[in-house]
């Protein structure tokens, strides 16, 4: 199995490539960043895997924010232009509106497809092409198989999706939130960078969890392929992930062993809790953020939470999808001895266009 994490700035775009039980290579895309992420990376990736005879099986769209769904709409544009063939996929996506609400919302807007808000437009495309998921993607779904890839849904809980549907019900007549507004984001990000705070100065007594209804609706999951386990946290609330892990029998004393954690919400403080990381045993963490965004993500507080509270047996490896002076300065205030003292290593992509790639074999 290989994982590809694309340089998408402060957004999410990834691909899983794995050997199936039919002896062929299969691919699942997870989110797609902004529209520019698709045109820069995923368009050619999809063309290549199609030309190489690989299977393009599924697309998981975690939630409706533009830094996750924007590239998916660019894919729809490419299909409708004839630049890519229409491919019947298994979609894991929760519309922010119920099926009837989507129909009425689309009907009430201009017939020009691009005028439809991004979450509604994807839902309408899935309806028109008969690819709507058979049921809501929530923790009630538990797990399912895609060839040799097993997917266990960790969020959203049914009540999180219900809250999303209530927010965007026809009675409220709200436009879909493309980005978190400043008020919501106050619980998610720092108003200024915390990179100048020494590692031993962080205090967690006043920790506050994210309160975004859209983020709470994120599809997060545990994927298993043979011996390899990957934890994909999307932008989910950590309390929901913790509740799911507990139902699976994991605790601080019996942590989940996994090979990689895709860190929640680009390394936001309020989506990554001590309680969550104390239930995980892992050495490898992927952060999809560039450090040069309006929310100052990733926060150092999140990275310190991972370093100090994850159960591990060796070096804590932090992998970043981007490379710049800002990211490389996160631990500068802690001095040259920081990496040795805390047994931490940071990793950056080899070029300014290369994805971060992980490869796992059955012997790992």
Cα–Cα dist 277/256, whole Å: 10
Question: Are residues 61 and 126 in contact, defined by beta-carbon separation less than 8 angstroms?
Answer: no
Cα–Cα dist 31/288, whole Å: 12
Cα–Cα dist 291/302, whole Å: 13
Per-residue buried b or exposed e for 305-327, using 16+ beta carbons within 10 Å of the residue's own CB: bbbbbbbbeeebbbbbbbbeeeb
pLDDT at 328: 97
How big is the CA angle at 253 (ends 247 and 257), to the nearest 5 degrees?
70
355-356-362-363 Cα dihedral, nearest 10 degrees: 140
Region class of 213: left (phi > 0), else alpha (psi between -120 and 50), else beta: alpha
**pTM for the full predicted model:** 0.93
42-47-53-57 Cα dihedral, nearest 10 degrees: 40
Q: Is 6 exposed, middle or buried (0-12, 13-18, 19+ CB in 10 A)?
A: buried
pLDDT at 189: 55
Per-residue buried b or exposed e for 138-149, using 16+ beta carbons within 10 Å of the residue's own CB: bbebeeeebbeb
Question: Are residues 140 and 247 in contact, defined by beta-carbon separation less than 8 angstroms?
Answer: no
Low-confidence ranges of the chain (pLDDT < 50): 103, 106-115, 183, 185
* Sign, CA torsion 89/93/98/101: negative
Could you give the count of Cα atoms lying within 13 Å of 33 in the half-sphere of its Cβ?
Answer: 24
> What is the phi/psi pair of residue 144, to 5°?
-150, 165
Question: Are residues 13 and 5 in contact, defined by beta-carbon separation less than 8 angstroms?
Answer: yes
Cα–Cα dist 31/23, whole Å: 26
Please give the C-alpha separations between residue 102 and each of 60, 85, 133, 163, 349, in angstroms, as whole numbers.
19, 25, 14, 16, 40
- Per-residue HEC secondary structure of 155-224 comes to ECCHHHHHHHHHHCCCCCCCCCCCCCCHHHHCCCCCCCCCCCCCHHHCCCCCCCCCCCHHHHCCCEEEEE
Residue 107 carries which DSSP code? H
pLDDT at 364: 60
Alpha helices in 4-42 (DSSP H): 35-37
- Assigned CATH for 2-359: 3.60.15.10
pLDDT at 98: 81
Question: Are residues 289 and 321 in contact, defined by beta-carbon separation less than 8 angstroms?
Answer: yes
Cα–Cα dist 176/168, whole Å: 7
């Amino acid at each position: 199995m290989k994982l590809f994490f694309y340089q998408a700035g402060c957004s999410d775009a990834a691909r899983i490539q794995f050997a199936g039980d039919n002896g062929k290579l299969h691919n699942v895309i997870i989110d797609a960043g902004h529209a520019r992420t698709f045109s820069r990376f995923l368009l050619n990736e999809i063309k290549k895997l199609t030309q190489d005879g690989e299977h393009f099986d599924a697309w998981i769209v975690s939630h409706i924010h533009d830094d996750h769904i924007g590239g998916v709409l660019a894919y729809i544009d490419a299909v409708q232009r004839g630049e890519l063939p229409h491919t019947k996929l298994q979609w894991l996506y929760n519309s922010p509106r119920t099926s009837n609400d989507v129909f009425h919302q689309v009907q009430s807007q201009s017939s020009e497809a691009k005028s439809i808000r991004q979450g509604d437009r994807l839902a309408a495309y899935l309806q028109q092409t008969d690819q709507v998921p058979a049921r809501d993607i929530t923790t009630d779904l538990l797990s399912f198989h895609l060839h040799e890839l097993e997917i266990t849904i960790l969020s959203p809980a049914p009540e999180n999706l219900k809250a999303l549907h209530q927010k965007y019900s026809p009675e409220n007549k709200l436009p879909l939130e493309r980005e978190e507004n400043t008020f919501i984001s106050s619980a998610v990000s720092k108003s200024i960078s915390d990179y100048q705070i020494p590692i031993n100065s962080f205090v967690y007594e006043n920790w506050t969890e994210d309160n975004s209804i859209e983020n709470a609706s994120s599809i997060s999951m545990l994927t298993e392929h043979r011996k390899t386990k990957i934890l994909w946290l999307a932008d989910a609330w950590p309390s929901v992930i913790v509740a799911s892990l507990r139902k699976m029998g994991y605790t601080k004393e019996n942590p989940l062993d996994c090979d990689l954690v895709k860190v929640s919400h680009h390394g936001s403080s309020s989506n990554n809790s001590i309680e969550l990381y104390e239930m995980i045993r892992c050495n490898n963490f992927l952060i999809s953020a560039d450090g040069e965004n309006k929310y100052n993500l990733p926060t150092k507080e999140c990275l310190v939470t991972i370093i100090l509270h994850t159960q591990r047996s060796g070096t804590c490896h932090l992998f970043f999808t981007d490379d710049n002076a800002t990211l490389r300065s996160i631990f500068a205030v802690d001095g040259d001895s920081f990496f040795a003292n805390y047994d931490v290593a940071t990793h950056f992509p080899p070029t300014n266009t290369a994805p971060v790639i992980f490869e796992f074999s059955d012997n790992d």
